[in-house]
Structure 1
Amino acid sequence: MNKYIHVQRAVGYEKSRTEMIRQDILAGRLPCSFVTHALLGSYLVQAEIGDFDSSEHGTTGYLAEFTFAPQQSQQLLDKVRELHKTHKGQTPAEAELHYLENAKKLAMYGVDLHPAKDSEGVDIMLGVCASGLLVYRDKLRINRFAWPKILKISYKRANFYIKIRPGEFETFESTVGFKLSCHRQAKRLWKVCVEHHTFFRLMTPEPPQRQGLLPRLGSKFRYSGRTQYQSRGDEVLEEMLEEDGRGDEVLEEMLEDKEEMAEEMRC
């Protein structure tokens, strides 16, 4: 591949990631402190308009076109302007990189949230991430199930279940259940968990099962993409782009699967 094209694709990919994170922050899906809002905002400004110029940026008026937080204040704009001064000399690509590096430090970065209820009917949020399945109540994390501890992931109608490996002083496996709003949401959560569990925990994907003449009801999806182990040593950007394409095809096939229609009729 032409080196110039490779660099251009890399820059475009970083910009799209920055925009997705920015939208999550503005929507409140990625909570930030005041200082983090200001720091990320200053890198965003550096990437968009370049170095601070005292003759043009004498007041915070030059920041009027930007939105850095769900609830923006004059105090925040003052802090963004102050930090913008310190980034002199950074190229747009460097500023984008600093933005991403700091965004990755946020507690909720990379967590895919799903509203649910626990066994007592209390509203919670289930977060799927690289390390495992997280449980939040009132925006506080109250539990974590690491992927190595999870033996089985399943769903039935609107219920989602995980089977947990017994602890050091335990004899039997245990099953923890959660209730989603509907069958589709439970199945969506299950698929996301299967993908994460396979990608981050297994060195080799499960081989595709041989299919008989008749379709079988129930949850049969298996993630068939490359795992983290297999992806090492490759060109990271191209692998990620290729994976995105295959992932879309897999999801389309799953959504069109006749088994989903049969499952819907059973509910």
Structure 2
Amino acid sequence: FSGPEFIILSSEPPVTVQLPGSIVTKKGKSYLSQRDLNVILLNGQCLEVQCDVQSKARDVFNTVVAYANLVEHFYFGLAYLKGKEFFFLDEETKLYKVAPDGWNDQPKKKTSIINFTLFLRIKFFVNHFNVIQHGLTRHQFYLQLRKDILEERLYCNDETALKLGALALQAELGNYASEMHGKSYFRVEDYIPASRIEKMTLAYVQRELAKLHRMNRSLFEDEAELAFLKVTQQLPEYGVLFYRVSQEKKGAGGEIILGICAKGIIVYEVKNHTRIASLRFQWRETERISAHRKKFMIESSFSGKKHTFITDTAKTCKYLLDLCSAQHKFNAQMNSRQLQQTSSEESKFMETDKSNYAYAAQSEHLALVQRLSRSENVLYGTNLENLSAGMMSKSCDNLSVETN
């Protein structure tokens, strides 16, 4: 069987990389500062990164994206897994602050090896794949969305699961050829989520996937991959980052999940292991977002009502606030960038309108920052002039708002 690369490469031994200028010798005190951590790439490959105890997330991220040859690195981030949730690291975070207990003290105590694993993940999702300049970047989106659907981080129904599974077969195996593939040429569990297989039965799924794969024979591999992305983009949960919270009033309802994405915040209620959207806050309808200790508050400019949610720690609450600001900024940048692409194809008379729209996108984000800055946990845009100037940058290099 030939399967997806993120399964094949996950069984390969780690590749060792070193941070530039990091201490990797075993002489004297320098050895005491050396640490190892693993970074899992989206293709399933594991990198064993040799770093320093004082290394920052930025140092590891730069080394990883250089190794992976990702030019459009601004869509990505390094994240650690807490429970089933991915938390992205700020680039200035020192690794020992988020490492497992004991990782910082390993060489001194000569204890068993403490595994520290980070994941390269997509943090910012595009609204249109034509804004992506490089095929390798688009392939990373394919890999993450493909695996997220398979592992049921991203929900889809039976019909869509079969359609996506067949497109994945075309993208990864090419046209079906009986002399090469035979009858049983793929593992169903590599292409369809387990709960969908259980519901539809293994025999039915195998038969339908093979039939749908043959129907995609007109598509080249890269066309099938793009078709997969376009179908996935239509899913209601595309581009949403999920985090568990609880209601302010104890005993009020069941499990609550906040979904944060480029367009706003979605509140989900979990019923029968399924996320059901109950509230939506688009940025333009959000008057204020604030964080006070463990309380995360969203005030609607549409209804005037304040919705309060409780996080597990004050640190998580602050993280959600920063993530909202970063996603809003990214959305404003993408809107500006998209307009620039459209305008370049039109007449020069459109230049004034383009500038006005870009300015409006900047103003919208700065207005949100100002509303955030009035919150109990103050989020300062200390470099607002630089932030404003950077909104028109095509490189999108700095996607974080400086916070206090």
TM-score range for the pair, normalised by the shorter chain length: 0.7 to 0.9
Counting matched residue pairs gives 221
The answer as to 2:193 corresponding to 1:193 is: no
Give 3-state SS (helix, strand or coil) of 1:89's partner: coil
Aligned-residue offset at 1:184: 1.7
Q: Which runs of 4+ in 1 moved over 4 A?
A: none
**Letter of the aligned partner of 1:203 in structure 2?**
A
CA spacing shift, 1:94–1:126, aligned 2, 3 Å: same
CA RMSD, 1 decimal: 3.0
CA spacing shift, 1:102–1:166, aligned 2, 3 Å: closer
Give 3-state SS (helix, strand or coil) of 1:63's partner: coil
Higher fraction of strand: 2
Q: Which runs of 5+ in 1 are unaligned?
A: 168-172, 210-216, 232-238, 260-267
Bigger mean CA offset, 193-202 vs 131-140:
193-202
Looking at structure 1, the residues matched to 380 and 210 of structure 2 have their Cα atoms a distance apart, in angstroms, of: 50
- Quote the residue 1:262 is aligned against: none
- Quote the residue 2:260 is aligned against: 128
CA displacement, residues 213-256 of structure 1 (integer Å, 9 cap, x when unaligned):
xxxx94325494855xx47xxxxxxx4xx43x533xx48x76xx
Looking at structure 2, the residues matched to 31 and 197 of structure 1 have their Cα atoms a distance apart, in angstroms, of: 24
- Quote the residue 2:305 is aligned against: 174
Give 3-state SS (helix, strand or coil) of 2:238's partner: coil
**Letter of the aligned partner of 1:64 in structure 2?**
R
**TM-score of the superposition, structure 1-length normalised?**
0.72
8 Å CA contact 1:38–1:77 kept in 2: the answer is: no
CA spacing shift, 1:157–1:113, aligned 2, 3 Å: same
- Quote the residue 1:206 is aligned against: 366
CA displacement, residues 17-60 of structure 1 (integer Å, 9 cap, x when unaligned):
0011012112211011122111111111111121111333341x
8 Å CA contact 2:245–2:258 kept in 1: the answer is: yes
**Letter of the aligned partner of 1:63 in structure 2?**
F
8 Å CA contact 2:286–2:302 kept in 1: the answer is: no
Q: How does 1:56-71 map to 2 (within 5 A)?
A: 56-59=180-183, 61-64=184-187, 67-71=190-194
- Quote the residue 2:171 is aligned against: 47
**Letter of the aligned partner of 1:185 in structure 2?**
T
CA spacing shift, 1:150–1:51, aligned 2, 3 Å: same
8 Å CA contact 2:246–2:310 kept in 1: the answer is: yes
8 Å CA contact 2:142–2:225 kept in 1: the answer is: yes
The answer as to 2:208 corresponding to 1:82 is: no
**Letter of the aligned partner of 1:135 in structure 2?**
V
Looking at structure 2, the residues matched to 48 and 66 of structure 1 have their Cα atoms a distance apart, in angstroms, of: 15
- Quote the residue 2:23 is aligned against: none
The answer as to 2:285 corresponding to 1:149 is: yes
Q: Which runs of 5+ in 2 are unaligned?
A: 1-70, 73-131, 333-359, 370-375
Bigger mean CA offset, 121-130 vs 10-19:
121-130
8 Å CA contact 1:191–1:221 kept in 2: the answer is: no
Looking at structure 1, the residues matched to 192 and 311 of structure 2 have their Cα atoms a distance apart, in angstroms, of: 30
- Quote the residue 1:161 is aligned against: 297
8 Å CA contact 1:40–1:99 kept in 2: the answer is: yes
CA spacing shift, 1:218–1:125, aligned 2, 3 Å: closer
8 Å CA contact 1:114–1:126 kept in 2: the answer is: yes
Give 3-state SS (helix, strand or coil) of 1:161's partner: strand
**Letter of the aligned partner of 2:213 in structure 1?**
H
